Structures are given as structure tokens and as C-alpha cells.
């Protein structure tokens, strides 16, 4: 007795499973979309940024317009105290640094001189011992009445408007100047007549 060997008639040979690789077409499409979106995103963001920038500048301009740059300068007019505070014969330097004005008291009244050199605008100094104004910049000299007599200053110092306020104080207005050379010192507002009491 022979042993029967069963041989399978057909041998099923299974084909090896081919591992599917990534879908290249799909991947390319996805990449394209991603690029498209990121590009679109970039343009949208840039657009918003520029829009914000323009709006910000516009708002800033509007605010600036509402608050214009104005230089608030001190007033030209100031009260210089009562006449009795000024001894006769004195050139007072009381307001020289604060208001750039000297006040002279004579036996007939008051006049006020602007402490601004007529050469290039420096502030002269009152030298009481030498009875003159001296400009430290280029050496111009002025008599006590303001007339120039040495140095490069081309003309006398300017006088400013002087009057009496309602409360009895001396009122100075630096906005009104009087030039000696133009006869300005003879005008009533250039001199405050007042005899000493
Ligand atoms: S500015 Fe006064 S002498 Fe020149």
C-alpha cells in the first residue's frame, strides 16, 4: 500500500502586496492649495496692515489738526509795580532778566528801554558805576538814555510803551517800540510823566 500524497492541484501564489505610496497627484494638489492659501493669507494680512497704517496716519493727522502746534509766548504787557518803588535817578534792572526791560526814573517821569542790542540782538548789561549800558557780544556802548556811542550798534536802544494802569501800577507794553532815530521817543506813550511825590 502506497501512501497517497496529496499534491494541491493549483498553488495559489499570492502576489506580494504592493504598498501604496502617497498619492502624488493629491499631494501636489494639496501643496498647491496650501501655497495658494498661504499666499492669499499673506496678501490679506498685508492689505489689512496697510489699511491700518493709512487709517492710523489719518487719525493722527486729524488729532494733530484738532490740537495745532501753538507757541504760547508770554505776554508783552506786564505790570512793573508802583512808581514809588523806583528812586529818582535810578536805572532799575528789576525786570531785566524776566522781561528784558530796564525802567529809568528821572525827575520828570519814567521811560522803559528794551534790553536788546541794536547790533545783533544780544542783551546788554547796565554798568551803574560807568553809567552806561554795555553789550558783551561786540562791545557796543549806550548812554543811560539808550543812545549808542561806541561799538558796532547802528542806532540807539528801543524804548517801549509805558503808561499807568488803573490800579496805579506802571504798565509796560513791549509790543510797542519807539526808535530814537525816527522821533519815537518824543511820542507821549514813550514817556510816563510823573513828578516825584
Ligand atoms: S550784539 Fe551787541 S554789539 Fe553786537
pLDDT at residue 14, as a whole number: 62
In a domain, 91, yes or no: yes
Ligand 1 centroid from CA 137, angstroms: 5
Nearest to 160 by CA among 132, 140, 179: 179
Residues linked to residue 142 through DSSP beta bridges, in sequence order: 133, 148
pLDDT at residue 43, as a whole number: 85
Cβ partners under 8 Å of residue 179, min gap 6: 155, 156, 158, 185
Ligand 1 centroid from CA 90, angstroms: 24
From the CB of 141, is ligand 1 less than 6 Å away?
no
Domain that holds residue 56: 27-72
In a domain, 33, yes or no: yes
In a domain, 185, yes or no: yes
Residues of the chain falling short of pLDDT 70: 1-24, 28, 36-37, 68, 71
Q: Do 188 and 97 belong to one domain?
A: yes
Q: Where are the alpha helices (DSSP H) in the chain?
A: 24-66, 96-99
Q: What is the pTM of this model?
A: 0.66
From the CB of 138, is ligand 1 less than 6 Å away?
yes
Among 149, 150, 153, name the best residue to mutate to test ligand 1's pocket (greatest count of ligand atoms within 8 A of Cβ).
153
Q: Do 68 and 86 belong to one domain?
A: no
From the CB of 172, is ligand 1 less than 6 Å away?
no
Task: Answer for the pair 168, 82: CB distance below 8 angstroms, yes or no.
Answer: yes
pLDDT at residue 4, as a whole number: 54
Among 137, 146, 149, 157, name the best residue to mutate to test ligand 1's pocket (greatest count of ligand atoms within 8 A of Cβ).
137
pLDDT at residue 115, as a whole number: 98
Quote the Cα angle for 94-95-97, to 5°.
105
Q: Do 91 and 48 belong to one domain?
A: no
In the chain, the number of structural domains is 2
Q: Do 89 and 173 belong to one domain?
A: yes
Task: Provide the sign of the torsion angle of the four alpha carbons 53, 55, 61, 67, taken in this order.
Answer: negative
| Residue 4 Cα distances to 1, 7, 10, 135, angstroms | 9, 9, 17, 141
From the CB of 140, is ligand 1 less than 6 Å away?
yes
- pLDDT tens digits for 4-27? 555 555 555 565 665 555 566 777
Among 117, 132, 155, name the best residue to mutate to test ligand 1's pocket (greatest count of ligand atoms within 8 A of Cβ).
117
Q: Do 173 and 83 belong to one domain?
A: yes
Pairing of strands 159-164, 170-178: antiparallel
From the CB of 150, is ligand 1 less than 6 Å away?
no
pLDDT at residue 196, as a whole number: 79
State the Cα–Cα distance between residues 112 and 102, nearest whole angstrom. Answer: 6
Measuring from atom 4 of ligand 1, which residue has the nearest CA? 138
Q: Do 45 and 140 belong to one domain?
A: no
Amino acid at each position: 500500500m502506497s501512501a497517497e500524497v496529496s499534491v494541491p492541484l493549483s498553488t495559489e501564489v499570492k502576489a506580494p502586496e504592493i504598498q501604496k505610496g502617497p498619492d502624488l497627484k493629491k499631494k501636489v494638489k494639496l501643496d498647491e492649495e496650501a501655497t495658494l492659501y498661504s499666499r492669499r493669507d499673506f496678501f490679506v494680512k498685508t492689505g489689512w496692515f496697510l489699511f491700518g497704517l493709512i487709517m492710523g496716519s489719518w487719525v493722527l493727522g486729524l488729532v494733530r489738526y484738532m490740537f495745532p502746534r501753538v507757541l504760547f509766548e508770554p505776554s508783552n504787557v506786564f505790570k512793573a509795580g508802583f512808581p514809588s518803588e523806583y528812586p529818582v535817578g535810578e536805572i532799575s534792572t528789576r525786570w531785566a532778566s524776566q522781561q528784558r526791560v530796564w525802567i529809568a526814573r528821572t525827575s520828570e517821569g519814567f521811560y522803559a528801554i528794551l534790553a536788546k542790542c541794536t547790533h545783533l540782538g544780544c542783551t546788554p548789561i547796565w554798568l551803574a558805576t560807568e553809567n552806561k549800558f554795555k553789550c558783551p557780544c561786540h562791545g557796543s556802548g549806550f548812554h543811560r538814555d539808550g543812545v549808542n556811542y561806541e561799538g558796532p550798534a547802528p542806532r540807539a536802544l528801543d524804548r517801549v510803551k509805558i503808561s499807568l494802569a488803573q490800579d496805579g501800577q506802571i504798565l509796560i507794553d513791549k509790543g510797542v517800540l519807539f526808535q530814537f532815530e525816527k522821533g519815537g521817543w518824543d511820542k507821549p506813550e514813550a514817556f510816563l510823566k510823573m513828578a516825584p511825590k
